[in-house]
A and B are shown apart, each in its own frame.
Chain A
């Protein structure tokens, strides 16, 4: 089975006094590879490559993965590790495409690599003088986006999240293994779905607090698609109109490619990933108009 390559679209918002992303990319391109490394969260990452083509900016992130990684094996030979030179580690790649004309950013989705939140942090902190402040906002189908933004009130929120399986942060927090196992057990390892509804009466709406929750969930779903697997919001366009349910996950702009060939080193080659981004952009040209 061919592996899928997903591409998500984001709008780039520049804060007041922020410089342009293309200037920052030029600056990064002129820096040495080793001086492009920044520590974001717990891991080091950098922009590996910056390329400009027909007014489009392509760049590729590398995120160092210093934890344990896979080995290599075939059906007739046992697993063996890769041999690393001193200072080497696994590095996860994420390709991006910036369209300066309409200020949109397309990002390849690599679960282990740099994702939108980290990419935003990297670009915002790259320059020591804080000259750049960007915000990447997930791009939705324009009509859905507009309806969600202009909603007069919220009547219903349905969302589904992955249950709390134990993870490394439990261990760091010092939770006993017995307890950590119990926490996962309580959720029975299935999906947790939550419905908050204001009921049928015409003049009842969800409170402002829940309404803000919808915005927060939408943002989190944009940053971590695996975390929130379902998010539907029932909104009213006017206070006396009928409820309309907006699916904020399905309406998200995403392209899935199944025909990206793997290289002989079992990675998606950089040029193929750039090409996929460009294909996604071509497909979205009419959607991503300003």
Chain B
């Protein structure tokens, strides 16, 4: 498989693997609101960080960034950023919904773990790329 496809699918592979384990081990969310409010905080921090990262990355004018802009990689980069932002935001929403519905049900646990892992994966991917871009020497 071409490495770009691995890169594109990695957060979802991670999420599906996590969900599979969740189902195999028959896990459920612990009772109480503590886990929900901490996952809400985590999701909100990631969303905020990514929104800032997006602004920095897009205004960066280093040679490597110009190179990326000159190729289709810019579309990939924008797509990675948007996936990370929307997944983290979705994770926040699911955490808020958890306050209103019973969280020990299977479907809620599944949604929570899939979105949580996918947003973590997308965040790692985009952070990794951003650090590499920053490390490239300016002209």
For chain B, residues 89 to 139, give those with C-beta under 8 angstroms from any C-beta of chain A: 125, 128-129, 132-133, 135-137, 139
Q: Is the CB of A171 within 8 A of B3?
A: no
A179 to chain B: closest residue by CB: B3
Residue of B nearest to A180 (CB): B73
State whether B71 touches A174 (Cβ < 8 A): no
Q: Is the CB of B72 within 8 A of A174?
A: no
**Across the interface, do A166 and B71 meet the contact criterion of CB distance under 8 Å?**
yes
Q: Are B71 and A182 in contact, with the CB atoms below 8 A? A: no
A181 and B64 form a contact (CB under 8 A)? yes
Measured CA separation A180–B2 after assembly (Å): 13
Minimum Cβ distance to chain A for residue B30 (Å)? 35
Picked from B72, B125, B128, B132, the residue with its CB within 8 Å of the CB of A171 is B72
- Considering the complex, give the chain B residue whose CB is closest to the CB of A167: B71
Which residues of A179-203 are within 8 A (CB) of B? 179-182, 184-185, 188-189
B4 at the interface (CB under 8 A from A): yes
B8 → A minimal CB distance (Å): 8
B68 to chain A: which residues have CB within 8 Å?
A: 166, 177
- Measured CB to CB, the closest approach of chain B to A253, in angstroms, equals 30
Instruction: Give the chain A neighbours of B4 by CB distance below 8 A.
Output: 171, 174-177
Cα A163 to Cα B64 in complex, Å, equals 12
Residue-wise, chain B 1-45 has the 8 Å CB interface mask toward A (1 for contact) of 011111100000000000000000000000000000000000000
Which residues of chain A have C-beta atoms less than 8 A from B48's C-beta?
none
Give A10 to B6 CA distance when docked, in angstroms: 47
Q: Give CA–CA (A107, B99) in the complex, Å.
A: 73
Q: Which chain B positions have C-beta within 8 A of A168? A: 70-72
Contact yes or no, B137 A188, CB < 8 A: yes
CB of A181 within 8 A of CB of B136, answer yes
In this assembly, does A178 line the interface, its C-beta being within 8 Å of a C-beta of chain B?
A: yes
Q: A185-B135, A185-B136 are in contact. Are A165 and B64 (CB under 8 A)?
A: yes
- Flag whether B77 is at the interface (Cβ < 8 A): yes
Question: Complex: how many Å from CA A276 to CA B72?
Answer: 37
Cα distance, A177 to B125, chains bound together (Å): 10
- What distance in Å separates the Cβ of A202 from its nearest Cβ neighbour in chain B? 43
| Cα of A166 to Cα of B133 in the assembled complex, Å | 12
Docked complex Cα distance between A286 and B137 (Å):
47
Taken together as a complex, chains A and B put the C-alpha atoms of A39 and B135 apart, in Å, by 40
CB-CB under 8 A from B125, the residues of chain A are 178
Residues of B contacting A184 with CB < 8 Å? 64, 67, 136
Q: Is the CB of B7 within 8 A of A189?
A: no
Q: Is the CB of B3 within 8 A of A181?
A: no
Residues of B within 8 A of A174 (CB): 2-5
Alpha-carbon distance between A171 and B7 when the two chains are bound, in angstroms: 12
B132 touches A181 (CB 8 A): yes
Please, which residues of chain A bring their CB within 8 A of the CB of B137? 188-189
Residue in B67, B77, B133 whose beta carbon sits within 8 Å of that of A167 in the complex:
B67
**A111 vs chain B, min Cβ distance (A):** 14
Q: Is B76 an interface residue (CB 8 A)?
A: yes
- Identify which of B68, B80, B133, B139 gathers the most chain A CB atoms within 10 Å of its CB: B68
**Complex interface bits, A158-175 against B, C-beta within 8 A gives 1, otherwise 0:** 000000011110110111
- Which residues does chain A contribute within 8 Å of B71, judged by CB atoms? 166-168, 170-171
Q: What A residues does B63 contact at CB under 8 A?
A: 165, 189
List 9 contacting pairs A-B, 8 Å CB cutoff, sorted by A.
Answer: A165-B64, A168-B72, A170-B73, A171-B4, A177-B4, A180-B73, A181-B129, A185-B135, A189-B136
Chain A interface (Cβ within 8 Å of chain B)? 165-168, 170-171, 173-182, 184-185, 188-189
Apart from A171-B72, A176-B4: 18 A-B pairs, beta carbons within 8 A: A168-B70, A168-B71, A171-B4, A171-B73, A175-B3, A176-B3, A177-B7, A177-B68, A177-B76, A177-B77, A177-B129, A178-B125, A179-B3, A181-B136, A182-B132, A184-B67, A185-B135, A185-B136
Q: Which 6 A-B pairs have the closest CB atoms?
A: A174-B2, A176-B7, A176-B3, A181-B132, A168-B71, A174-B4
